[in-house]
Amino acid sequence: MSRIEQTRRTLRVGSRELGPGPVLLGILNVTPDSFSDGGESLDPEAAAAHAAQMLDEGAHVIDIGGESTRPYAAPVGPEEEERRVVPVIQRILTSRPEAVVSVDTYRASTARAALAAGARIVNDVTALRGDPEMASVVAEASCPVVLMHMQGEPKTMQEDPRYGDVVREVGESLYARAEHAVSAGVAPENIVLDPGLGFGKTTEHNLQLLSRLGELTALGYPLLVGASRKGFIGRVTGTESAGDRVAGTAATSVLAYERGACLFRVHDVRENREALEMAAAVEGA
């Protein structure tokens, strides 16, 4: 079995198995200020309808976030984040009880409330750094957790990001965070790593991470890539509007899949699903 095949293992979520083929996380931001879709799904009914559309288009997971992590975004309070997220989870699972829901949060209190409401995965952009209680919440829930690399914090991360060797440094940081999670009781098979494209990285940093993604695959954990509609794609392709970066996102997903990524966090589910299905078919021919 190749190194890539090993890291593209099945991810168990309760009694469900995701993978080993491409796994799509449909982005559902219940925020007024996210960079691409802020304000579109603030109402729980609208959010549930959007989630249903993404599920119908092939999303394996709905990833719900109640606080924007776009560059220069200011944090919201934990009560407001929970108020935004929990009713949406409940509404989605009432109409689509088979759905797998992930909560995009770094706060233990929000994660705990979301898991109690039926979420099955925690996606933490701080890799368990943002809240000292998060590791124990994830460990106790025995749920998958995404550990993402970020230099700095959303409010300041894009001011002047610097690395000596971005791939080596991101890899070392992610491995250390995975070791921290395991030491806190998180099962290794529940850990997913995310290089954090756009989070404290320049366009060149993002391109280097994608080009050398195999070096992160070597860490031995499944990799999630979240490139959807991001600014570096716009700078490469000359597309100013985030909504015009769908083709660039799909291309990035395919390139990341070829280098070992197996989970993809995207706004445009159908387009990325079709691109990844073709990549997987060619690879398996």
In a domain, 9, yes or no: no
The pair of structure tokens assigned to 100 is 């797998």
Q: Is the torsion defined by CA of 163, 165, 169, 171 positive or negative? A: positive
| pLDDT of the residue at 157 | 66
In a domain, 11, yes or no: no
pLDDT of 166-210, one tens digit each? Answer: 999 999 999 999 999 999 999 999 999 999 999 999 999 999 999
In a domain, 87, yes or no: yes
Q: Which residue is catalytic, options 91, 229, 265, 273? A: 265
pLDDT of 7-32, one tens digit each? Answer: 778 899 988 999 889 999 999 999 87
Q: Is 265 a catalytic residue?
A: yes
Residue 121 CB contacts under 8 Å (≥ 6 apart), including other chains: 13, 61, 63, 100, 101, 102, 103, 143, 144, 145, 146
In this structure, the chain runs to a length of 285
Give Cα 55 distance to the centre of its chain. Answer: 16
Give mean pLDDT, residues 55-69.
Answer: 94
In a domain, 7, yes or no: no
In a domain, 208, yes or no: yes
Q: Which residue is catalytic, options 70, 201, 230, 259? A: 230
In a domain, 279, yes or no: yes
Domain with residue 279: its CATH number is 3.20.20.20
pTM higher than 0.85 for the full model? yes
Q: What are phi and psi of 252, to 5 degrees?
A: -65, -40
Find out whether 283 and 40 touch, Cβ atoms under 8 Å. no
Angle at CA 203, nearest 5°, toward 197 and 204? 105
Give mean pLDDT, residues 273-281.
Answer: 97
In a domain, 132, yes or no: yes
In a domain, 223, yes or no: yes
Q: What distance in Å separates the CA atoms of residue 191 and residue 46, rounded to the nearest whole number? A: 31
Q: How confident is the model at residue 75 (pLDDT cuts 50, 70, 90)?
A: confident
Which residue stretches of the chain are H helix?
A: 3-7, 44-56, 78-95, 108-117, 134-141, 166-183, 203-211, 213-217, 231-237, 246-258, 269-284
Find the domain containing 274 and state its range.
24-284
| pLDDT of the residue at 36 | 45
44 preceded by cis ω (within 30°)? no
Number of independent structural domains in the chain = 1
Q: Is 155 a catalytic residue?
A: no
pLDDT of 104-160, one tens digit each? Answer: 999 999 999 999 999 999 999 999 999 999 999 999 999 999 999 998 777 676 778
